Structure formats: structure tokens, C-alpha cells
Amino acid sequence: MAYWTYAQIRDKVERDLDLEGENFITAEEMLGYANEAVDEVERQIHNLCEDYFLTRGTITLVPGQEEYALPSDVYAMKIRSIVYRLGTSVWKVERIRDWHKFEQYEVHQTAQGDQIQYGYFIVNPTAGAPRILLAPTPNEAGSVLKIWYIRNANTLVNDTDVCDIPEAVNYIMQYMKVRCYEKEMSPNLPKAAADLEMEKQTTLATLSQQVVDNSNEIEADYRLYDDMN
């Protein structure tokens, strides 16, 4: 599937609307329309097929440090999993659930032993800088946690920036056309808005079929039984 750059998207919209060489709609406004459309599709994707933007990163543990920055491109603090591995030992860093979360945090802080298993939850002490809070506080250096998370869609800034939702390019262009017609108070607006709704439904139908494979089996969770053995 082809990936369009912002320049290709913008140029197609301007050609279709015969806006080439005009400045009634500024370059900044056109770029804003494109990113508005990307934001809308991104929101729908996270409801339909969350792992579309699945990615991973690492957290290097520092002795005495309990708070760690989230990845800069994480979407809505959506962490899928955090995994610890040391040699052949692998285990999931469990999220400390909301019920009695703060008491559980203190219990984790008292953990001792060679194989301490961490838990975590998210804190937001500073505007724009949420953190992962680990418990107990690590006392090891250099060990790495692998974090699997949902990233943001690519924001379009420069002409060469790529729209990384290729299934939605037609919707994005139609959205931009509607916003242009709105500013121009064009009589073509009702038809363009109807076409936009059709593009939206087509895009959502396509994205709803985004699965890793054709299996429709529901995975059984046997972890409770394993813990009882």
C-alpha cells in the first residue's frame, strides 16, 4: 500500500479544488486541516484495532529511582505490557490496579529478596510529563524493562512527512476539501460533506478488518489456574 507525503496530499486537494496559486486558504490552515483529519482517524483506529500503532521501547533501571518517563510518542498513556527479563527469567510487570492501589504500592515497597517482581501505575505530577511509577524502588543498575505501547499517528509538519494511515488518505483529502469549502462558504459544501461521510464509513470498514491473521478464536486465559498449581 502506498504511503502519501503531505505534499502529495495537499497538491491533490489544491488541484481538485482549483486552488493552485491562490492564498485565500493559507498554508498553515491547509496543514491544520490535514492534521485534524489525521487526529479523527487516529481516534477511530484506537477504538477499532488498537494494535495498529503497536510499538515498543525500553526502560533502563536506575538504583533508587522509582519514576520513569513514558515514551514521548505514546498515545493517551496506552501501555499494552511491560516485561522484565533477567537471564532466563521473564515476567510481566503487572499494573497495580485502582482498587487499594496506594496500599498495594506500599506493600510492594517492602518487598525483599533476589527475585523482586515490580508493579507499576501511572502518575502525572507535572503537566505534560506523566511518569511510570515502579514499586518496589529498583536497587539494580542497567537492567532493562521492555515496554509495549500504542504510539501516536505521525503528525504532518513538513512536505516530506508521511501519512502513516494509508487506508485513510481519501478520507483525509475529503476532510480538507470540506474545511476549504466551509471557509469559502461554497455551495458545494453539502455535497462534499455527504461525500466525507461516505469516505468515513468506507475507511472505518477497511480499518475494522485490520487483524494480524485470520484466526477468530478467543484466547483462553489460564493464568489463574497456573498460579494455583
Widest CA span in the chain: 73
Q: Rg of the chain over CA atoms, in angstroms? A: 23
Segment holding 59, helix H or strand E = strand 54-60
- pLDDT per position as a tens digit, 32-80: 999 999 999 999 998 888 899 999 999 999 999 999 999 999 999 999 9
What pLDDT shows up at residue 63? 93
What pLDDT shows up at residue 141? 85
Determine the 3-state secondary structure of 31 from DSSP.
helix
What is the pairing mode between strands 119-123 and 144-151? Answer: unpaired
Q: How far apart are CA 178 and CA 196, in angstroms?
A: 8
CB within 8 Å of 4: residues ≥ 6 apart: 162, 163, 166, 169
Least confident of 100-104, 106-110, 216-220: 216-220
- pLDDT per position as a tens digit, 143-166: 889 999 999 999 999 999 999 999
Least confident of 18-32, 89-103, 136-150, 167-181: 89-103
CB within 8 Å of 195: residues ≥ 6 apart: 174
User: Which of the four pLDDT bands, split at 50, 70 and 90, describes residue 229?
Assistant: very low
Check: CB of residue 1 under 8 Å from CB of residue 139. Answer: no
**Mean pLDDT for the stretch of residues 131-141:** 91
What pLDDT shows up at residue 210? 66
Residue 84 dihedral angles phi and psi, to the nearest 5°: -105, 135
Q: How far apart are CA 37 and CA 31, in angstroms?
A: 10
Which position has the grid cell 484466547? 219
What pLDDT shows up at residue 153? 95
What pLDDT shows up at residue 142? 81
Pairwise pLDDT comparison (109 vs 133), residue with the higher score:
133
Cut 0.75: pTM above it: yes
